[in-house]
Structure 1
Amino acid sequence: MVCAVDLDIDNQMERIKIVEDIRIKHPRFNHALKLIQDCHQHSKIAAEPQCLLITAPSGAGKTTLFRQYVKMHDKIIYGNTRTKRVILSDEVPSPTRLVVVVESLLEKLGDPFPLRGTLGNKRDRLIKLIKDCQIELIMLDEFQHFVNSENNKLNYEVAEWFKSLVNITNKPFVLFGLEESRIVMEVNEQLDGRFSVPYHLHPFSFNSQSDKEEFRRLVDAISKQLPFEDQPTFAESGMATKLMYASDGTMRRLMNLIRRAARIAIERNHPHVDENHFSEAFELFTRFRKEYNPFLINDFEFE
């Protein structure tokens, strides 16, 4: 026999899963996806592949963008004599050492013994596998790990090898990293020339009226996806201002805050998310970084 409490918990978990699965493809996100797709498709017919560097501060959505494109476009095609893969994607490890980077890429391509052999042998196998698997696009996340975080100096051995990999494979590369990733390009003219299409994924802001309207459209779209029948929009001026202050305009902080507030409302069987739920969520996620809890202040404003 299934009791009412169990059914209620199941319903709550289903609704919480809906909240966790919310993904918003806002215009900036879609523009970045289009740039990646342009690199991918144009390079099939271009004399020289087009490469792209996407930078963003932590939490702005670059890793989500990275995963989304791989999810949308990567395919593995098994043939009689070889396996084709559309995208080679990986995360640059930290701290970065050349041998570790090469071994990780070999593993991604299915090399049965990525740790075996000399460094030179591993590099040769990697180039051969990229060719044999007919890789169309190479995507690397956390590219800033090419730069030592302690002294802000470039790992020249890794950078030089990477330049040769770009030249030898003649494949389009899309790199994702924090803003310090630009250092790699600035000290290497050849790489800078290859990555002539930079894109910076800015956090949202309240710097202008159009910025405010853009953010309100974003939070309105999120509020409409929440599993409540009577959910007021978050686009109302006061609520949008509080969400901007609490999240600093970054998607990760914004979604963490909204997901936690929605979970609190669901677990308490409330008809919608309100400022009390946001206030609790704020204390859990954001309070240590901020002077005020905006959800406790009626007419909250900030510069």
Structure 2
Amino acid sequence: MIYSERALHAGSRIAGIRIHHTRFKEALEGIGRVVQLGNYFRHPVGVSIIAPAGSGKTLLIDSVQTNVCEWPFLSPNSVIVASLKEAPTVSQIQDDLLANFNYAIPPRSRPRTNAALFNVLADAIEQHDIRLIALDEFQHVFLARKVEVHAAIIDWTKRLMSRTACPVLLSGTETLKSIERADPQLSTRIPTVITLPAFGNDEDWRGILQAFASAVPEVDLSSLCTEYATAIFKATKGTMRLLKSLVIESSMIAIDKSEREVNKNHLGLAFRRVFGADTSSVNPFE
């Protein structure tokens, strides 16, 4: 199971491929609208991105942070990001956001210093002309066992939006839909909800497979778009993260076998390696 340098190089290239499919582009456009209008009119506004795990939420935030669309209203280093833990706290979120500013001695929040560091964070956002605050994995707020934790983070988010007038992006899994039933003072500030669903076994799915095939010169992936499209859909359940893992692994296997085209044997072995020998999932390539 040790791969050659050539295979690893190809796998690395595949891992870096960004495919902006239709729903991804629509989500980017929706975020761009919120960022532009929120900063122009300087009033609290936001957007929620809801997607199953592995469907591209983090890639979407990274695409905004690196400004792949080259929006003129988004300057370099003007997007800060925090990823919420499974048991989130105001301190953890503030620390993650403050880390974006690369302080020589990072300030650390504690319950008794949260208020003071809130002011530090708000001032930094204004001084550095931050255009978007992205809070990833925000569903953990609604999964918190303690109601007071839920309330504290919601209240903190509202205060941050009011203080800075900076647009906010919340992203998370389907549980984030609870935001529409949450505190009206938050849901009216963040009225825009955009979903990024898993793919169906349709033309869009084949378009994604074709995009991979066109972007990888080291090995022929054309069979993925035709005879194996449905089997790959069954293997990955239409999830981009699993699809990319399967494409990477099968490509590296084919390269190390000195075979030009990825075939059923490569895909079957790749499935076993990606999902493990003890998976309960059926290998659709066997």
Runs of 4+ more than 6 Å apart: 151-154
- Measured in 2, the distance between the counterparts of 1:170 and 1:256 equals 40
CA RMSD of aligned residues (A): 2.5
1:214 matched to 2:229? The reply is: no
2:89 paired with 1:97: yes
* One-letter code aligned to 1:248: K
For 1:87, the equivalent position in structure 2 comes to 79
- Map 1:123-134 onto structure 2 (within 5 A): 123-134=118-129
TM-score (norm 2): 0.86
CA distance in 2 between counterparts of 1:97 and 1:153 reads 10
Could you say which residue in structure 2 is the equivalent of 1:114? 107
In 1, the alpha carbon distance for the partners of 2:148 and 2:247 equals 38
Deviations 1:63-118 (A, max 9, x none): 11111211226755xxxxxxxx4112221233211122222222323444412772
Q: Does the aligned pair in 2 maintain the 1:39–1:49 contact within 8 Å?
A: no
Give the direction of change, closer, same or farther, for the CA distance of 1:259–1:9 in structure 2 (3 Å limit): closer
**Equivalent pair of 1:19/1:262 in contact (CA under 8 Å):** no
Taking a change above 3 Å as real, the CA distance of residues 152 and 60 of structure 1, as seen in their structure-2 partners, is: farther
* Structure 2, unaligned runs of 5 or more: 69-73
Write the letter of the residue equivalent to 1:203: A
Change (3 A) 1:151 1:252: farther
Helix, strand or coil at the partner of 1:181:
helix
Which 10-residue stretch deviates more, 144-153 or 222-231?
144-153
For residues 127 and 265 of structure 2, what CA distance do their matches in structure 1 show? Answer: 57
Residue type of the alignment partner of 2:254:
A
Residues in 1 aligned to 2:280 and 2:179: alpha-carbon distance in whole angstroms: 33
Contact 2:221 2:262 in 1 (8 A): yes
- For this pair of structures, how many residues does the alignment match? 275
8 Å Cα contact 1:220-1:233 kept in structure 2: no
| Aligned-partner SS, 1:234 | helix
Q: Which residue of 2 aligns with 1:54?
A: 49
Larger mean Cα displacement after TM superposition, 243-252 or 42-51? 42-51
Say whether the 8 Å CA contact 1:246–1:286 is kept in structure 2.
Answer: no
Higher relative contact order (CA 8 A, sep 6+): 2
User: Take 1:110 and 1:14, find their aligned partners in 2: how far apart are those partners?
Assistant: 31
Give how far 1:20 is off: 2.7
Encode CA deviations 1:2-42: one digit per residue, 9 max, x unaligned: xxxxxx95544433332332221111111111111111112
**Equivalent pair of 2:65/2:78 in contact (CA under 8 Å):** no
- Aligned partner (choices 153, 167, 185) of residue 190 of structure 1: 185
- Residue 291 of structure 1 and its aligned partner are, at CA, apart by 4.6
Q: Secondary structure at the match of 1:262?
A: helix
Distance 1:119 1:50, change over 3 A: closer
| Aligned pairs for 1:213-292 within 5 A | 213-228=203-218, 230-236=220-226, 238-286=227-275, 290-292=280-282
Alpha-carbon distance in structure 2 between the residues aligned to 1:229 and 1:260: 12
> Does the CA contact (< 8 Å) of 1:91 and 1:140 recur in 2?
yes
**Which AA in structure 2 matches 1:16?**
G
Q: Which has the larger radius of gyration?
A: 1
* 3-state DSSP of counterpart to 1:194: coil
- Range 132-141 or range 255-264, more displaced: 132-141
